[in-house]
Structure 1
Amino acid sequence: MSDSENVRHGPVFTQEPSDSIFPMSTGDKLVFINCRAKGNPPPHYRWKVDGRDIDTDSDSSYSLAEGNLLINNPHFINHGGVYQCIATNAFGTIVSREAKVQFAFLQNFSRKPRNTVTVREGQAVVLLCGPPPHYGEMKYSWVFNGQRSFLQQDARRFISQRTGNLYVAKVEASDEGNYTCAVRNMMTNATVFSSPTPVVVRRDVVMGEYEPKIEVQFPDTLYVSKGSSVKLECFALGNPVPSISWRRADGNPLPGKIKINHSTGDLEIPYFRPEDAGVYECVAENSKGRNAARGQLIFQNVEHLQWTQILKDAHMAIDANLQWECKAIGKPKPRYRWLKNGQPLTAKERAHVDAGRLTISTIRLSDSGMYQCVAENEYGSLYASAELKVVASPPDFTHRPVKKSTVIQRGGEVVLECRPNASPRAMISWWRGGELLRNSKRQMILEDGTLRITNISKSDEGSYTCVARNHFGASSSTGSLVVKEPTRIIVPPLSSDASVGQSLVLPCEVSSDSSLSPVFKWFFNGKAIDFRRQEHFEMIGGGFSGDLMVRNIQLRHSGKYVCMVHTEVDTVSAASDLIVRGPPGAPEDPIVTGITETTVQLSWGSGPDNHSPITMYIVQARTPFSIGWQTVKTVPDSVPGQMMHATVKDLSPWVEYEFRVVAINSVGVGEPSMPSKQIRTKAAAPKVAPVNVSGGGGARGELVITWEPVPEEQQSGEEFGYLW
């Protein structure tokens, strides 16, 4: 069993009785009405019906099975009613919701013979069913001359499911015979039959034609709730047999979901909605005239009750003030009432009820018990329950003693808590040795009993005792206060700069109370440095020194460094900035314009200077004939760091070139930019003649001339050739 199950508490319903209709049938019958509650100690139960206590000892019809009520051989009249379950244990009593219990039954018809009905041919007739006592949904039918099948309804014959009566609009000769009303209980499935009603049709005088007369119609006003199904009956007597039609009196069309039985004239509206409300009209017509009947369907805006705020158990000290509130929503708007231990709670000197709000001031032990808030309207009720435990006890420091030892720095502030369990709340006083402490400039006893001392000095060291008293007794708890010298950083890290590849030490040295052991932590850009994983960082020193060594510094090590020192009594920190200088980053987006035979205009964007200003740029070029990148001549010869364009000169005509730019600062040469788009210089007349020209040999009359060809990169244009 868990601790929560071991806690002693009042009863709480886990199952409550609900509205029920039980079918009645012959033979022995046993009906259960459910009720179950948890509690420690386990609750015992009793029941009420229609407000009267049920005595299960003297009334053999009733018995209990745990909390459930058993009804033996129930009688549909004697045992129908409103039932309520009541659960009680040592902490109080709660009552369940009220449950309406009914029994579906159907008694037999009287066997008394029925009178003969004589009617003229062409006349209308109404045969009364006169059903016996019953409860539950009934279905009415008629049997003609003992036939196995029930009489079929049509435009001439109609059976009302409200009264069971049979209506014949115009009697024919074939209608003569015996008529028996059959009533079926839809819950018990029992069917009973009336004595036959003989009908004699007089043929000597035939009834003449006459205008319709509506004999069966729905109520003038009908309230309908959302989602329910509505069936409207309308039937007229007349000769000729009248036809039935429906319309809305406001001129709006009938809803498309409406079902009309054209043979009987019934109209059914399933799933009623607010827009279905209005005045409905049934019209009966024949050749002699018309007759109409109206009725209004009114939307009944009913919403089930539901809680939006319920009660919570309250364990409160004696003399405290209780405020409980419950809230429910529903239509119509709910009313509230309150119960204590199952009985109506009346406003008294200390108790005040305002709808769903209950307040009790200066609680006493006698106020302990089970309370219930009941929200109700015409269509139902909700019960919310909670337990009020009023606690009365002397002060007890067992679970929350004064802290045994509190260490604080000189000049700091200390808060010593005194929080005993006590009901009612204890009066608190503080003592140092044998001296009663009083409020002063530096020390103050707060309303909750906490002792606060500011600007602590060495003289404040010692033992402090909290004494707690209430009506039921007194108790005390003692703790000691130890004052230490504050920690100070005497050699802080200084903001500095370094070049990539160098190493440096950021110092952090403290002075602290000799009895304390400071713990050093370093943070880089807000994140704690993990010395086990970061090879560039190392903590050096020891004791009251925790210097940070940064080895082989890289650009990414620029940022803010914080040395944080923790001791048992305080925390101090110091910060510094480290700037790492490195060769410049790569220039951006070199663009070539102004292309001639031997020059181009080149421009670019500056890259990062990495904390050291760019002093100059150099331009490099690459052709299909060069080995890698070569530095080229520019105007100006040396491009200064603040200039981001230059003219590249002394290029070869009609050669494909790519260019890139390199930045230089005092730290070194940076990374080159990305290459520019490949371009070709314009063509020009060749400026280089063939070399090593010689002649000789050959046949008589011939001269063979030889030379070294001009290199392709010096041919200066297309269709290069030699002329002699």
Structure 2
Amino acid sequence: MQHILSQSTHCIAVFLLCIIYTLFGPVFIQEPDDTIFALDSDEKKVTMNCEARGNPQPTYRWTVNGTELDLSTGFRYSLTDGSLVITDPREETDSGRYQCQASNSLGSVLSREALLQFAYLGNFSNRTRGAVSVREGQGVVLMCSPPPHSPEITYSWVFNEFPSFVAEDSRRFVSQETGNLYISKVQPSDVGSYICLVKNMATGSRALSPPTPLTLRTDGIMGEYEPKIEVHFPQTVMAAKGLTVRLECFALGNPVPTITWRKLNGNIPKKARLRKSQAVLEIPNIQLDDSGSYECKAENYRGGNAFRGQLQVYTYPQWTSVINDTRLDSGEELQWECKATGRPRPLYRWLRNGTPLFPQSRVEMVNGELIIRAVRPTDSGMYQCVAENKYGAIYSSAELRILASAPTFQSSVVRLVATLGKDVSLECKPRASPKPTITWRKGDRTLLLRNNSLRIVNATRADEGTYVCRAENQFGVTEMTTVLMVKEAMRVELSPARVEVTVGESVVLSCKAIHDPSLDVVFLWMHNRQPLSFHQGGGHFEYIQTQSSNADLMIRNILLKHAGRYGCRAQTSGDTVFAEAELLVRGPPGPPGIVIVEEITDTTATLSWSRGMDNHSPISSYNLQARSPFSLGWQTVRTDPERVIGDMESAVAVDLNPWVEYEFRVVAINAIGTGDPSAPSRVVRTKEAGMTPPGPETPLGRSQLHMFLLVVLQK
């Protein structure tokens, strides 16, 4: 009864461990993104996405601007799985930074923060705008005064009536920073009505300002004056790496000023573009080395004016090293490190289950490194390293699991067979945390061990018996029994050890195992150390087992590729023995090597080649063959010497026809048969020797003679 209870307890422990090892903390599949919601949208709700996997299934909470959302207070907030749905969103209450928290019984993680903005474009004031009156030649600025809006808008100006837009040139400029229209030197053609048109980039909606009349004064013409810069970029421009930067610079003056740009500490990037008006320097895909001091200069012959500003490129944090899930035994030390790049350089902070982690007696945090000494089960949970600078934050998440369990074995009794005279190791590998203390005993004797394994050198019959492994830690103790039997070594006889056959014949290899009769033996046949597949051998191989200790391999209708070494591996529960035999296969020769035409005359070709495989039967002779446009396929040619014997690697093809293109190949012959031909030589043409037609006894034959005469008649 006690044995049954012990077995039941063991099964329950293993089952519980399996469940524990399939549990895992939340891992985000989808995190919320920055969102712009158009107030005039037909869709009356906005969704902030959040989804995590975990076991148990995670639950979700949301915060906005650091304050937890109470989803029970009204109908406007609801969850779809983990995503937050805001119905009838309102700018005054719903704008801000949103963060999702996913939790289960193993811990909590925070998503990145996502900004929710509202897009809208108000209307211009209906108040009539007064006329702007200037002298001819004077500069002027027409104010746009845009309506309330979010986010960015673009500006353009309509002249007199839609769709006649003001075209920018060296004299006129529309600033996308202020929205104002700048005319450096007014001309009579500029007199008229001006309307500012704004467009919301997010919604596409537009709005038109009331007209602003521009008139000319009648008290004279404005004299010439030096440039005055009215539009310029900020003294410090901050730009994110990879974006496009636009630097504006425009001046009033008479004559119309010329705008030029330069970079004080280097050259302006080659990728930079200038607008037609020269008033905008545009740098796409900005990089760190584009930083520096930029200067715009406005000049006419009356003088000049310059402005300088600093362009600084920043980068969001990016991971170069992250943390990973970790399992530790109770009492061990945790060392995690995360590293990120960014400009400015990121700072680091740590979260545990979504709340800040602070230094303590066991906890140390320095420059992205977290150390927890002598970990405890209460340290288990979800941890996050946060790298952040003033432009953004990134999160790396990992689960820390502190293992604490009593020792358990997969099996309480193991039976092991050793071979007489050989070494054997008795393994003791319980599952436990922390690592248990291992002791071995046989009867009343306690045995020494190495790495928890008991090693017996040169096993004898006296080593047979029952061995007990005991595993113990602070959570419990358990034992495993190994029953060791020592058997005679097995021998394998494979015959014949070496055999020669001819292609098409059959052979039987016999494998016999001499072993302890109490043990079952299993055979495996191999060809060149690779297991034989009897189902894919094309019917050439058959496995025959006449007795439990004998296994034969029959090879039928042998091919050249079947040559090699055949191995028989016999295996019992206590021993494995391997023996090999060599099979030589005689067959027709392989193809000779590449044929080279070394010399060509009007009727001869000197050929050379390299020997191919003789396939265990010496090459007796070679047959030289040729092909031309006048031959019916490949034909044997006469040679010098007349018989090309097997140890030769060159010969002369004779009785060829002049001024004919030939290819040559060589075929090897041995006692088994004729082999495959070599690859054809390159095409060569015999020398010209008049138009003497080939005779009927030449290699071309009578039919080729007829074809040759036809060619002559055509010429």
* Shift of residue 164, structure 1, vs aligned partner: 1.4
Calculate percent identity across the aligned residue pairs.
45
* Shift of residue 45, structure 1, vs aligned partner: 1.9
1:463 partnered with 2:477: no
1:507-550 Cα shifts (integer Å, max 9, x gaps): 99887545446678888976889999999999999788999999
Select which of 292, 313, 327 maps to 1:300.
Answer: 313
Q: State the Cα RMSD in Å.
A: 5.5
Select which of 302, 323, 329 maps to 1:289.
Answer: 302
1:388 partnered with 2:400: yes
Give distance in 2, aligned partners of 1:538 and 1:143. 94
1:453-473 Cα shifts (integer Å, max 9, x gaps): 222221222222222222222
Corresponding residue number in structure 2 for 1:706 = none
1:360-385 Cα shifts (integer Å, max 9, x gaps): 33321211211112233444332222
1:478 partnered with 2:481: yes
Give distance in 2, aligned partners of 1:129 and 1:607. 91
SS in 2 for 1:366: helix
Corresponding residue number in structure 2 for 1:424 = 434
1:28-49 Cα shifts (integer Å, max 9, x gaps): 8422211122233332222222
Select which of 152, 166, 182 maps to 2:166.
Answer: 152
Alignment of 1:240-279 (within 5 A): 240=255, 242-248=256-262, 255=270, 258-262=273-277, 265-272=279-286
Give distance in 2, aligned partners of 1:536 and 1:152. 90
Q: Relative to 1, partners in 2 of residues 1:96 and 1:239: Cα closer, same or farther, differing over 3 Å?
A: same
Amino acid at match of 1:37: A
* Shift of residue 129, structure 1, vs aligned partner: 2.5
* Shift of residue 342, structure 1, vs aligned partner: 0.5
1:181-201 Cα shifts (integer Å, max 9, x gaps): 343322233334445555553
Give distance in 1, aligned partners of 2:113 and 2:190. 52
Give distance in 1, aligned partners of 2:612 and 2:215. 117
SS in 2 for 1:233: strand
Alignment of 1:82-121 (within 5 A): 82-111=97-126, 114=129, 117-121=132-136
Give distance in 2, aligned partners of 1:289 and 1:33. 59
Amino acid at match of 2:432: A
Q: Which consecutive residues of structure 1, in runs of 5 or more, have no partner in the other structure? A: 582-604, 618-643, 645-662, 664-668, 673-724
1:169-214 Cα shifts (integer Å, max 9, x gaps): 2334565566543433222333344455555532023322333333
SS in 1 for 2:375: coil
Corresponding residue number in structure 1 for 2:79 = 64
CA contact (8 A) 1:153 1:159 kept: no
Select which of 414, 433, 446 maps to 1:437.
Answer: 446
Alignment of 1:451-530 (within 5 A): 451-487=454-490, 512-513=515-516, 515-516=518-519
Corresponding residue number in structure 2 for 1:588 = none
Q: Relative to 1, partners in 2 of residues 1:485 and 1:220: Cα closer, same or farther, differing over 3 Å?
A: same
Give distance in 2, aligned partners of 1:349 and 1:292. 63
Amino acid at match of 2:470: V
Corresponding residue number in structure 2 for 1:626 = none
* Shift of residue 130, structure 1, vs aligned partner: 2.7
Corresponding residue number in structure 2 for 1:205 = 220
* Shift of residue 573, structure 1, vs aligned partner: 5.9
Q: Relative to 1, partners in 2 of residues 1:144 and 1:519: Cα closer, same or farther, differing over 3 Å?
A: closer
Amino acid at match of 1:381: A
1:98-133 Cα shifts (integer Å, max 9, x gaps): 112222233344455555544334322222223333
CA contact (8 A) 1:221 1:295 kept: no
How many residue pairs get matched? 598
Amino acid at match of 2:475: F
Alignment of 1:285-684 (within 5 A): 285-286=299-300, 288-295=301-308, 298=311, 300=313, 302=315, 305-329=317-341, 334-397=346-409, 400-402=410-412, 404-433=414-443, 435-439=444-448, 444=449, 446-447=450-451, 449-487=452-490, 512-513=515-516, 515-516=518-519, 566-572=571-577
Select which of 29, 40, 44 maps to 1:14.
Answer: 29
CA contact (8 A) 2:421 2:460 kept: yes
1:295-332 Cα shifts (integer Å, max 9, x gaps): 46757374x65545544333444334434444445565
Q: Relative to 1, partners in 2 of residues 1:51 and 1:226: Cα closer, same or farther, differing over 3 Å?
A: closer
1:138 partnered with 2:153: yes
TM-score if structure 1 supplies the norm length? 0.66
SS in 1 for 2:28: strand
Corresponding residue number in structure 2 for 1:74 = 89
* Shift of residue 273, structure 1, vs aligned partner: 6.3
Give distance in 2, aligned partners of 1:127 and 1:549. 102
CA contact (8 A) 2:291 2:313 kept: no
Corresponding residue number in structure 2 for 1:689 = none
Corresponding residue number in structure 2 for 1:34 = 49
* Shift of residue 406, structure 1, vs aligned partner: 0.7
* Shift of residue 556, structure 1, vs aligned partner: 12
CA contact (8 A) 1:365 1:390 kept: yes
CA contact (8 A) 2:314 2:342 kept: no
Amino acid at match of 2:399: E
Give distance in 2, aligned partners of 1:162 and 1:564. 84
* Shift of residue 415, structure 1, vs aligned partner: 1.6
Give distance in 1, aligned partners of 2:478 and 2:295. 85
Amino acid at match of 1:244: T
Give distance in 2, aligned partners of 1:47 and 1:169. 54
CA contact (8 A) 1:411 1:456 kept: yes
CA contact (8 A) 1:322 1:360 kept: yes
SS in 2 for 1:437: strand
1:665-694 Cα shifts (integer Å, max 9, x gaps): xxxx9999xxxxxxxxxxxxxxxxxxxxxx
The structure where helix makes up a greater share of residues is 2
TM-score if structure 2 supplies the norm length? 0.66
Give distance in 1, aligned partners of 2:559 and 2:179. 101
